[in-house]
Homo-oligomer: A and B are copies of this chain.
Amino acid sequence: MRKNSKDAIVDSAIVLFNIKGFNGTSIRDIANKANVNVANIAYYFQNKHGLLEYCYTTFFESYLHEIERGFNSLNKGPTECLKEITKNIIHFHCQNIHLTRFILREMSIDSQVVREIMSTYFVKERYYFKRVFEEGIQTKEYRPLSVNYMIIQLKSLLSMPFLNSYYVTEVLHVFPHEPYFERKYLEEIYNWIDGVVCNMHFQNRDALLV
C-alpha cells in the first residue's frame, strides 16, 4: 500500500477500532492519530461509516481474490488446491493483521451491513470451498465428509489466531506478527488437511498391504 494520507487514515482507524471499538472511536481521534485534519477524512470517506465500508470492501475484495487465485489450481487436485487457498489466505491475513482482526470481530455481530457482506462475499467464499471439498470427496482423495462442517473447521483455523491475537500473544506466547508464524501455522493447517480431510489412512493401509 502507498503510504499517503488516505492509507494513514485507514491504518490509524483500524488500530483505534481494535482498542476502543468502532462506536468508541471518533473521527477526531482518527484525525489526531493519522496526523491529518478532519476535513481530509471527510474528503476521502464522507464519514465514519464511509470509512468502515471502505475497510470492508478493501478487505473482502482482496480476500476473495486470494481464494480465487488458489482455486485456479484445482486441476492439480483438490488437496493441492486446498493447501494453495489456505496458503494465500494465511499470507493475506499475516500481511494485514490489524485489519483482519477488526473485520473478523465485526463479522460476529448481527447487523444489516454484516448481512449484506454474508450474502455477497461469504456466499462466494462458500461456493469455492464447496467446489474443492466436493471434488475431493468425488475423487476419493477426501473422506466422505460433511462439506459444511468442514467449512466451519477450516474457517475456524484460518481466523482464530488473528481474531484473538491478544490471547495468543499474552497467554500462549505465540506471535502472529513474527515472520516464522506464517510458515509454522500453515504447517499446522496442512496437518489438519492431511489428518482430517484426506483419506490418508486408507492410502497408507493400501500401500502397506500391497
**A binding-site residues for B, Cβ under 8 Å:** 18-19, 21, 23-24, 101, 104-105, 107-110, 114-115, 118-119, 122-123, 126, 146, 148-149, 151-153, 155-157, 159-161, 163-164, 166-168, 170-174, 184-185, 188, 191-192, 195-196, 200-201, 204-205, 208-209
Please report the C-alpha to C-alpha distance between residue A195 and residue B142 in the assembled complex, in whole angstroms: 13
Mostly, the A contact residues are helix
| Residues of chain B lying within 8 A (CB to CB) of residue A209 | 208
Please report the C-alpha to C-alpha distance between residue A46 and residue B119 in the assembled complex, in whole angstroms: 41
A102 to chain B, nearest CB (A): 10
| Residues of chain B lying within 8 A (CB to CB) of residue A109 | 18-19, 21, 105
| Residues of chain B lying within 8 A (CB to CB) of residue A166 | 108, 110, 114, 118
- Asked if B23 and A163 sit within 8 Å, CB to CB, the answer is no
Please report the C-alpha to C-alpha distance between residue A65 and residue B170 in the assembled complex, in whole angstroms: 23
- Asked if A107 and B19 sit within 8 Å, CB to CB, the answer is no
| Residues of chain B lying within 8 A (CB to CB) of residue A171 | 118, 122-123, 126
Given A156-B156, A156-B161, 8 further pairs, Cβ under 8 A: A23-B23, A108-B163, A118-B167, A153-B188, A160-B160, A192-B195, A200-B201, A205-B208
Contact of A160 among B123, B156, B174 (CB under 8 A): B156
- Asked if B122 and A151 sit within 8 Å, CB to CB, the answer is no
A1 to chain B, nearest CB (A): 23
